[in-house]
Each structure stands twice: as C-alpha cells, then as structure tokens.
Amino acid sequence: MEFNLNGNEFIPLNALLKMVNIAESGGQANMFITDGEVQVNGEVETAKRKKMRAGAVVTIFDQTITVKE
C-alpha cells in the first residue's frame, strides 16, 4: 500500500500506523514498535516517533507501506 504525505515533510511512525489502520490506537502502534514488529527500510525500528519521509518502506506483519511525497 502507499501513503501520501500530501505536502508534509514527514509523518511520525506511530501516526503512520494509525493512519493506515494497522493500529487501532496510538498505544497499540507504540506497542507494535517497541515489540520489534516494525521494520523501516529492512531494519527493525524501535523509535516510536521516527520521521517517515518520502521513500521510506515500512513493513509490519504482512503489510508493506511505501511513503510517497
């Protein structure tokens, strides 16, 4: 799936997971991240508010999200 930044410079990782309906809440998004369930560009990411910019590829469970401008 793709997520468009719509003119924004970035979106925090935990907010991205909520926006694409993978997490039902910010708390659930944070739990997924701290539990090591999320990869950014092929590396496990544990920073909840990591800035996702255009070109980032986020993988969680069987979902892949590509961040676009």
DSSP 15-39: HHHHHTTSSSSHHHHHHHHHTT-EE
Q: Indicate the average pLDDT of the chain.
A: 97
Cα–Cα distance, 16 to 32 (Å, whole number): 12
CATH fold of 2-68: 3.10.290
pTM for this predicted structure: 0.95
Q: What angle do CA 65, 66, 69 make, to 5 degrees?
A: 135
- β-strands 63-68, 2-4: how paired? parallel
- Band the pLDDT of 33: cuts 50, 70, 90: very high
With a pLDDT cut of 70, the percent of the chain lying above it is 100
Q: What digits encode the pLDDT tens for the residues 10-19?
A: 999 999 999 9
